[in-house]
Amino acid sequence: MTRTAGAGRFAPSPSADLHIGNLRTAVLAWLFARSTGRRFLLRVEDLDDRSSSDTATRQLADLTAIGLAWDEPPEFQHQHVHRYESVVDELSSRGLTYECYCSRKDILQAPRAPHAPEGAYPRTCRDLTDTARDQRRAGGRPPALRLRSDTHEYSVIDLLHGEYTGVVDDFVLRRGDGVAAYNLAVVVDDAAQGIDQVVRGDDLLSSSPRQAYLGTLLGYPTPVYAHVPLVLNTAGKRLAKRDGAVSLSDIGRATAMAEIAASLGFTATNPGGMLDEFDPARLPRLPWIYEPVRQ
Please indicate if the annotation marks 11 as binding a ligand: yes
* Whole-number Å distance between alpha carbons of 166 and 153: 5
Dihedral, CA atoms, 203, 206, 212, 217, nearest 10 degrees?
-130
Please indicate if the annotation marks 171 as binding a ligand: no
* Whole-number Å distance between alpha carbons of 98 and 91: 10
Backbone dihedral angles phi then psi of residue 192, each to the nearest 5 degrees: -65, -30
Q: Spell out a b/e string for 156-190, using b for 16 or more CB atoms within 10 Å of the CB, else e.
A: bebbbeeebebbbbbbbbbbbeebbbbbbbbbbbb
Please indicate if the annotation marks 15 as binding a ligand: no
Please indicate if the annotation marks 9 as binding a ligand: yes
Q: Rounded to whole angstroms, what are the CA distances from 93 to 18, 183, 195, 265?
A: 40, 19, 26, 51
Secondary structure element (H or E) that encloses residue 201, with its range: strand 197-201
Please indicate if the annotation marks 207 as binding a ligand: no
Please indicate if the annotation marks 241 as binding a ligand: yes
Please indicate if the annotation marks 121 as binding a ligand: yes
Please indicate if the annotation marks 200 as binding a ligand: yes
CB 290 within 8 A of CB 239: yes
Backbone dihedral angles phi then psi of residue 174, each to the nearest 5 degrees: -135, 130
CB neighbour list of residue 206: distance below 8 Å, 6 or more residues apart: 166, 167
Q: Rounded to whole angstroms, what are the CA distances from 42 to 9, 19, 30, 260?
A: 6, 17, 10, 20
SS3 21: helix
Angle between helical axes of 253-264 and 20-35 (0-180°, round to 10): 60
10 Å Cβ neighbour count for 124? 16
Q: Rounded to whole angstroms, what are the CA distances from 277 to 127, 210, 281, 282?
A: 55, 34, 12, 10
Q: Which residues are annotated as a binding site?
A: 9-13, 45, 100, 102, 121, 125, 182, 200, 241
Q: Which residues are annotated as a binding site for L-glutamate?
A: 9-13, 45, 182, 200
Q: Which residues are annotated as a binding site for Zn(2+)?
A: 100, 102, 121, 125
Q: Which residues are annotated as a binding site for ATP?
A: 241
